[in-house]
Structures are given as structure tokens and as C-alpha cells.
Amino acid sequence: MTKFTKRLNIAVLAGLVATTAVLSVPQAMADDRADRGPRGGGHHGGQKGGNGEARLAKMFARLDVNEDGVLSLTELTDPTAAKAAKILARKDADEDGVLSLEEMQRNRHGNAVDLSAIADEIVACVTDLAAEAGNEGIVVPTAADFKSSEDRFNEVDTSGDGSIDLAELEAAGLAKANNAFDRMDADEDGSVTAEEFGAAHKSRRATKKAIRQCVQEINDDSEV
């Protein structure tokens, strides 16, 4: 595997929340933890599935603040203000109350790789994989899902002043939570059950796998 391939894989894993728009930040954390399994337990394949389900159940329970057995939109959107404040406090290196593009990219895992140049190829590849596998859980992305870091920054910077303030962070988080809720609420009844939550997790795993495979194949083809 080349160094560029490794960087591509890191970038895809780090950016899949935004790419698939299936889960909100806390749900994505649960998903990734479930995928990894317990620390040091990666070789115990027989236990990984059960542990993953248990972790998802715990995350669902944590999000279900009123303990009524379903997730409401409010339960997903209420934490966005606090999360935005934490992001600002953590990344605002010069403490000027706003975030620059450089600060937004600070402490990210690996160097962000711009996949926008191969976005159309990724979409076509994932479309083919989903059809071949007959897996309706694979969410086929659009080319717009693979925006560069600069384009994503500019989307959040709605004032166009070259920096992102707390209100813009909150708005972005709120939009993501709303989008995540809509995608999980499969029956559109205004609430997300544990089953819908689990289905979204499986869908995200399938989508991550498909996108990783496609990026790998496209990268391999480019080296031939």
C-alpha cells in the first residue's frame, strides 16, 4: 500500500460522517466504537458483534434523555449548542472568538485529502457496488458530498467573512442533527426507534465499506 493510499483511507474514514450524512456526531461515535469493538479485543471476532450491539444500545439509551424508548428530534438537537461551544473552545488557538480554516483543520487525523477531483468516479463506483450487492443499506453519495475542506468551511461561514463564529457552528450542527434525524426516521413518524437507530448504523457501515473500496480501486487504477 502506498503512502498516498494510506492517506486516502484515513481521510475517508475521518470524513464519512459528513459524506453519508446518516448519523449525528454522538451517533457516529457510537458507530465507530461499535465497529472497533473493545480495546484490545480486535482478535475476538466472535464477541465483536455482540459488543457492538451493546455499545449501540448504551448510546441509544444515553441519547434517549426522557427514557421513553424512542429518540425525538429535540433530543438530538438540544446538545448542539454545547457541542458548538466545545468545538470553538478547543480549536480557537488565538482565542479571538472565531475559527479560521487553519484552526478548523487543527488536530484532524492525518492530512485531509481532497477527494473532489474523483467525486464523480466514487459516486459511479458506489452506485455499481450497491446494485451488484443488492444492498439497499448502501447510501449512494453525490459528488457534492466530497467537497474540499475549503468548500465545506465556506458553507459553514454563511457570513462570508472568512471565519466561523459560534452562531455559525451552532447552525451547522443543528442542520446536521436535523438531517441525521430525518434519515433515521424511516417511517417518518417523528421519532426514531432502537430498530431504526440500529438500521442506520448498519447502513453507515455498509456505506463506509463501499466508499473505502471505491477510493482504493480508483487509487489503484491511477497507479497502473
Helix (H, G, I), strand (E, B) or coil at 192: strand
First to last CA, the chain: 13
- Give the range of the structural domain holding residue 192, as residue numbers without chain letter: 3-223
Cell of 21: 450524512
Q: Is the pTM of this model over 0.75?
A: no
The pLDDT tens digits for 62-75 are 999 999 999 999 99
Q: Rounded to 5 degrees, what are φ and ψ at 206?
A: -65, -40
Residue 154 has pLDDT above 80, yes or no: yes
**Region 13-31: what's the mean pLDDT?**
40
Phi then psi for residue 67, to 5 deg, are: 55, 40
| Structural domain count of the chain | 1
